[in-house]
Amino acid sequence: MRRKITKKLEIQPDSVYNSVKVTKLINFVMKSGKKNTARKIVYGAFDVIKEKVKEEDPLEIFEAALRNTGPTVEVRSRRVGGANYQIPREARPERRQYLAIKWIIDAAGSKTGSPMQERLAEEFLLASKNEGEAVKKKENTHKMAEANKAFAHFAW
């Protein structure tokens, strides 16, 4: 018997930038239900971006960073016979956004020595210029997909 299709929850846009993507970013940064702390980190990162780049809107830099780090294809494991194959598949837009935000936060979290706000702002600035760890992760994913293109016929 098939499962009932679950409805996706509508996420409300944040109060400062009126953007659903910023709300999703806050939710990704949040740990142990501490949403206020996550808001301080994200809005603090946007303030740092405002200081460093005075002529551009931090929301535009955030959008550019998401565009530059979102992968168009990804590889998924599939067991065929006795072997596991990495099968390249096109990433859906929601999945692309999820991976972009996740990779940016992971890249910022892996650095040490400065507050999370500054690390996150730095990663956004680098990603908007097509640099940084998150963009490298995207390029590696694309390389893996290209290398495993021969197994695309196993896609389901």
What pLDDT, in 10s, does the model give residues 26-73? 999 999 999 999 999 999 999 999 999 888 899 999 999 999 999 999
Asked whether residue 8 carries a pLDDT value surpassing 90, the answer given is no
Give residue 153's pLDDT band: very low, low, confident or very high (50, 70, 90).
Answer: confident
pLDDT of amino acid 24 = 94
pLDDT of amino acid 156 = 67
CA 87 – CA 65 distance, rounded (Å): 26
Q: Is the dihedral of CA 52, 56, 25, 47 positive or negative?
A: positive
CA distances, 65 to each of 31, 102, 140 (Å): 22, 12, 17
